[in-house]
Structure 1
Amino acid sequence: MNNLGVIQVIDSLDAGGAEVLAVNIANGLSAEGINSHLCATRKEGILKSNLNKNIGFLFLEKKNSIDFSAIFRFKNYLKRNKIGIIHAHTTSYFFAFCVKLVYPKVKIIWHNHTGNYIKLKGFKFLVIKFTSIFFKGIINVNEELNTWALKKLKHKNAIKLDNFPQFINKNNTTKLFGEENKRIVILASLREVKDHLNILKAFNSLHIKYPDWTLHFIGKDFNDEYSNSLKLFVLENNLEKSVYLYGVCLDISNILNQATIAVLSSKSEGLPVSLLEYGLAKLPVVVTNVGECGKVIENDKSGIVVDKENSFELANALEEYINSEEKRNTFAALHYKNVAENYSQKSFINQLIKIYTS
């Protein structure tokens, strides 16, 4: 395996779950002595600084879905660096398929992180179903996606492989506002599927009773209609001194070490890396019952699972933690133990190498 190159392919290196995992995989493979590379097809991003220096990096500046110049530059990079496997993340499967058409000897592994794909219909679904014929294998981050790949795409080589967390950036750049031991954090880009409005409504209902507690949003702000609706909610409910938006941050370990409770309030998920990072940081968590989230925290054994889009239930869960330091400590320890034992880098990389070589 050491003489066979592998390249992770992803649209950008902006901070996001799939992007973080692509970087972590490239680093993990390199640590095992494998000829490891990463390609950002459309744009670079803040996560580039987390790539180990010995990893080959290619930025294509792809302009369109079918960009012949980018395809042939990528093909030449593969040949020059003796790369035999393209590990394509999320929407990069189509670019990998285009490369396969001009360079048939390369093998494609598609890594599907997107929980919403199970709802795909029409043209987009037909495109994925057709291109999947050319994939050597499909890696899925949860059981629901794996069943979809097996039954709907009818791909024989689909496998579920759990994500893993890793803290690369050890800086202490970000200082959270608010009182120590009274901070709630959510690590998720400001996208509608992450449903920050859900946590805002829950937090607002608790704010009068617990005015010293603060809420902290870590993740990319796209400054769009959804982002503006969140900011408007904060203003209309006089939460400016209790809710803080920090944008993209790389020092995740440092941020989580300052937090007291961690939340994910999504409408849909695959297996969020942030939930595993919460465990690595020994934080008690509240998560919505979407994707693999319930399984990760063992169905209420090492955290609290609530229904999606239910701010009342989410508020009750947060209040349980607010009122019980003992419960916070117990669930934090259990979540850490579960993540350390079942979602380790070594286990992931070993399984991945088997997938590459099988």
Structure 2
Amino acid sequence: MRVVQIIDSLEIGGAERMAVNYANALSEKIEFSGIISTRKEGPLLNQIDRNVAYLFLNKKNKIDIKAVFRLRKYIRQNKVDFIHAHSSSFFIAVLVKLTFPKIKIIWHDHYGSRAKESKKENRVLIFMSLFFYSIFVVNLQLKEWSEKNMLCKRILFIPNFTLDRNELQRTTILKGTEGKRIVFLANLKKPKNHISILKAFLNLKLHELDWSLHLIGKDYFDSYSDELKKIMKSNSLEEYIHIYGERSDVKNILSQVSIGILASTEEGFPVTLLEYGLAELAVVCTNVGYCSSLIEEGMTGLLFNPYSENEIESQLMRLVDDNNLRKKLGINFKQSVLENYSEEMVIKKLILAYKE
């Protein structure tokens, strides 16, 4: 079997990390594994294994004929059987199929918000699904949406996974007191809902208890980012809430914290939660998307309604107040991730899905 992953960029994001994870893991299991970035490179380039065949298309426009034929050449030269197209990269995959009909396209939907969208908002995608061989989705709401709206009817749920491999990078040293650090690993944008967590941190006066909050993820320096910084500055929290931007040494960062938070108002299947689990963190998490399937309330983590300030504050304070609870949840969650979302288990399911 010969498979290439296609993704629009190699910046740090959930779909991007999964494309790299699939390419790396498959390289040890199948005859040929490749990965192509269509528009932009980024920090994840350094995480692609040497035995994965990489290509950067440098696509300039939505319809870039030169990029289409560079991709076609790569597929023919490497005798690729399947294009595994993640998120919006389905468009160039279909353009290639029009010039090379025998190639099979797997489209992988990571976008949790799509479950609330209309057919009209997705009319191009729905039309192009005529050319898909299969659709993979990251949660059951997306599966239901695709079954209802898409023209391709071979639809499968494939859970995410994260690679528990050693990272040599140890570049980020977090500020704050050891044992009292909270991490929020998500790009600074909607619907990640950072503001609710900043407000909870402030209302609970966690800084007075010497706790600190660490925001790891791309800063777009836009109105969303400005509002976060305004809250920090107006409440003199800069010493306790820290924004680091994009970082690639995630495993190293998570080894320095005690609590992991995710607060999205919309979510697919967050790889971040799996990373928290492998790091044995106590997790307090939104209940949207696949999160409530990943987290068992009170056993592997604590859940909250992202629109409820009271729930967020109550659940966060439970973890801050109880070191034994933090330890128990961290141990249980790591065990759950290893048992249910291991690389070996998911890749076996993925290969079977390619063959269906």
Q: What TM bracket, shorter-length normalisation?
A: over 0.9
Return the alpha-carbon distance in structure 1 between the equivalents of residues 123 and 182 of structure 2. Answer: 42
| Pair 1:8 & 2:5 matched | yes
1:84 corresponds to which of 81, 84, 91: 81
Length, aligned pairs only: 355
Residue 327 of structure 1 corresponds to which residue in structure 2?
A: 325
2:219–2:246 CA contact under 8 A, matched in 1: yes
Residue 273 of structure 2 corresponds to which residue in structure 1?
A: 275
1:10–1:19 CA contact under 8 A, matched in 2: yes
Paired residue secondary structure (1:194): coil
Residue 289 of structure 2 corresponds to which residue in structure 1?
A: 291
1:231 corresponds to which of 229, 232, 245: 229
Correspondence 1:116-265 to 2 at 5 A: 116-121=113-118, 123-168=120-165, 169-207=167-205, 210-265=208-263
Residue 339 of structure 1 corresponds to which residue in structure 2?
A: 337
Return the alpha-carbon distance in structure 2 between the equivalents of residues 346 and 243 of structure 1. Answer: 37
1:47 corresponds to which of 44, 47, 52: 44
Displacement, 1:125?
1.4
* Structure 1: unaligned runs, 5 residues or longer: none
Superposition TM-score, scaled by structure 2 size: 0.97
Displacement, 1:63?
1.3
Paired residue secondary structure (1:11): strand
1:68 corresponds to which of 54, 65, 69: 65
What whole-Å deviation, never above 9, does each CA across 1:109-157 have from its counterpart, x for those lacking one?
0110001112223544111111111111111000100111112225321
Question: Structure 2 vs 1, CA of residues 251 and 167 (structure 1 numbering), >3 Å: closer, same or farther?
Answer: farther
What whole-Å deviation, never above 9, does each CA across 1:192-215 have from its counterpart, x for those lacking one?
111111111111112267440000
What value does the CA root-mean-square deviation take over the aligned residues?
1.3
Return the alpha-carbon distance in structure 1 between the equivalents of residues 307 and 92 of structure 2. Answer: 35
Return the alpha-carbon distance in structure 1 between the equivalents of residues 10 and 70 of structure 2. Answer: 19
Superposition TM-score, scaled by structure 1 size: 0.96
Displacement, 1:32?
1.4
1:282–1:336 CA contact under 8 A, matched in 2: yes
1:293 partner amino acid? C
1:207–1:213 CA contact under 8 A, matched in 2: no
| Pair 1:24 & 2:21 matched | yes
* Structure 2: unaligned runs, 5 residues or longer: none
1:108–1:137 CA contact under 8 A, matched in 2: yes
Provide the identity percentage: 43
Return the alpha-carbon distance in structure 1 between the equivalents of residues 30 and 98 of structure 2. Answer: 29
2:284–2:301 CA contact under 8 A, matched in 1: yes
What whole-Å deviation, never above 9, does each CA across 1:266-288 have from its counterpart, x for those lacking one?
01000000001100000010111
Residue 110 of structure 2 corresponds to which residue in structure 1?
A: 113
2:217–2:246 CA contact under 8 A, matched in 1: yes
1:167–1:252 CA contact under 8 A, matched in 2: no
Return the alpha-carbon distance in structure 1 between the equivalents of residues 156 and 228 of structure 2. Answer: 37
Residue 315 of structure 1 corresponds to which residue in structure 2?
A: 313
What whole-Å deviation, never above 9, does each CA across 1:51-102 have from its counterpart, x for those lacking one?
0011111111111111111101100110011112100001111111111111
